[in-house]
Amino acid sequence: MSANAITPSWGFIGKIPAKGDFIKQDLPKPFADLFHDWQQAIIAVSKEQLQETWQSHFLNAPIWHFALDSGVTNDATIIGTMIPSVDAAGRYFFFTLARPVLGDAVSYWSCRDWANESQDLALTVLDDHFTFDVWSQNLQSGTELINAISAETLPVSQKKLSGENLFIKEHTETNVMSLLSHVVRQQFPKPCYWWTDGNDAIEPMMLVMDGLPQIGKFAAMLDGQWQKWNW
């Protein structure tokens, strides 16, 4: 399947230096509400956990890209990029570019050139000479990369369960992405993929989890202390 983008452009949610308050545009309400509440919670809890080091860790946090399963919001698969930001009044918050797409989240993790486009667009909001109206005209950037992704997954007919092996019925049509999606869903019914190129504290990595990252563990995605925060 091609032409996967449900919306023709990126939406956004969060805070940017050019605006004095929270901004949101062109995102499905179930995702926007859930994601905003989650971001508020991870900021509040990570502040308590990191104390006086929180601001430094937040401002220098790595850029995280994500592909969220449709089951997370009971709506569509959501892909996007999340960066640390601040509004015109100096209040820290994340800024996120995101969009709903068709198909399994794993396809957008596997073929993730789109993340370079969304990262460039997101980081532009931090530029000193940023102009919101000009920037918003570029929100269709990267659509061709997304449309080129084959999001078609074929059903995997599992013959039986085994603690050590996976038995698939013979002569059934499938593909690598379908099999990977099937295997991941055995452990994570609502799989969410997060990845980063890292920073001084966090090496490049990918995380897979069931739903959004746990609020009490998110501090590790800021400071890289995975064992300390019980990953």
Question: Residue 33: inside a domain, yes or no?
Answer: yes
Reduced to 3 states, what is the DSSP secondary structure of residue 51?
helix
pLDDT tens digit string along 200-216? 999 999 999 999 999 99
pLDDT tens digit string along 128-149? 999 999 999 889 766 777 776 7
Which range scores top for mean pLDDT: 4-8, 99-103, 141-145, 186-190? 99-103
Number of Cα atoms under 13 Å in the Cβ half of residue 141: 18
Residue 81: exposure state from Cβ atoms within 10 A (0-12, 13-18, ≥19) = buried
Q: Which residues contact 160 (CB under 8 A, 6 or more apart)?
A: 167
Q: What is the mean pLDDT of residues 192-205?
A: 96
Q: What total of structural domains would you count in the chain?
A: 1
Question: Residue 41: inside a domain, yes or no?
Answer: yes
Question: Residue 204: inside a domain, yes or no?
Answer: yes
Question: Residue 158: inside a domain, yes or no?
Answer: no
Return the CATH number at 61: 3.40.1730.10
* Per-residue model confidence (pLDDT) at position 168: 55
CA–CA gap between residue 91 and residue 178 (Å, rounded): 43
Question: Residue 168: inside a domain, yes or no?
Answer: no
In contact, 177 and 106? CB cutoff 8 Å: yes
Q: What is the mean pLDDT of residues 30-56?
A: 98
- Judged against a pLDDT cut of 90, whether residue 193 lies above it is answered with yes
Question: Residue 166: inside a domain, yes or no?
Answer: no
Question: Residue 170: inside a domain, yes or no?
Answer: no
Residue 70 lies in domain = 11-151+187-223
Q: Which residues contact 115 (CB under 8 A, 6 or more apart)?
A: 65, 81, 195
3 confidence band (pLDDT: 50, 70, 90): very low
Which DSSP category does 20 fall into?
S
Predicted structure pTM score: 0.86
Reduced to 3 states, what is the DSSP secondary structure of residue 24?
strand
Reduced to 3 states, what is the DSSP secondary structure of residue 189?
coil
- Judged against a pLDDT cut of 60, whether residue 5 lies above it is answered with no
Q: What is the mean pLDDT of residues 79-103?
A: 96
Question: Residue 50: inside a domain, yes or no?
Answer: yes
